[in-house]
């Protein structure tokens, strides 16, 4: 890990690959490729390096979190539906002890009751909700400010 540049792993969970198609009234018409471009641009503007990864599979996300130890200074995680169900993702985050900011495109606190509980938040240093793509930039800023000032 380069100590001069904050390296961030951006992990996205299930169905985010369907941005632009899935419930556009909630998530908008921009695509996952648009999100990746936005994250890369934001990271560069903030002086951070980032790797972006998306999976629909819980175990793959757990594997990526575990492999991040010693490689990344921070994680930005949109666990999507796994936010509300995955103790495995929570346990992986706690095990690797990498500062993590949880992010959601929509405000999960104002959605269906089952979406209002987050296992991820139990391990996250901060949670950013309801800011669309801009939430990812804010999450990276939180990590940068906490880790390198």
- Cα separation of 115 and 78, whole Å? 13
Q: Which of 72, 82, 104, 136 is catalytic?
A: 104
Find, among 81, 99, 95, 87, the residue nearest to 22 by Cα: 81
Q: How far is CA 95 from the centre of its chain?
A: 17
**What is the distance, to the nearest Å, from the Cα of residue 96 to the centroid of all Cα atoms in its chain?**
16
Cα separation values, 57 from 79, 91, 140, Å: 10, 16, 24
Known catalytic membership, residue 32: no
Contact, 1 vs 70, CB < 8 A? yes
Query: Which residue in the list 27, 72, 119, 136 is annotated as catalytic?
Result: 27
Q: Which of the 8 DSSP states describes residue 148?
A: T
Check if 53 is active-site.
no
Catalytic (active-site) positions:
27, 104
């Amino acid at each position: 890990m380069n100590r001069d540049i904050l390296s961030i792993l951006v992990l996205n969970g299930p169905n985010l690959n369907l941005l632009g198609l899935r419930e556009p009234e909630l998530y908008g018409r921009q695509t996952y490729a648009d999100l990746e471009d936005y994250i890369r641009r934001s990271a560069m503007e903030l002086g951070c390096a980032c790797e972006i990864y998306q999976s629909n599979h819980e175990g793959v996300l757990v594997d990526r979190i575990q492999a991040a130890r010693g490689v990344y200074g921070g994680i930005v995680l949109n666990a999507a539906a796994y936010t509300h169900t995955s103790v495995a993702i929570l346990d992986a985050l706690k095990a690797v002890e990498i500062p993590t900011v949880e992010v959601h495109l929509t405000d999960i606190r104002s959605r269906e009751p089952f979406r209002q509980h987050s296992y991820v938040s139990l391990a996250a240093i901060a949670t950013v909700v309801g800011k669309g793509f801009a939430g990812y930039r804010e999450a990276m800023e939180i990590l940068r400010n906490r880790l390198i000032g």
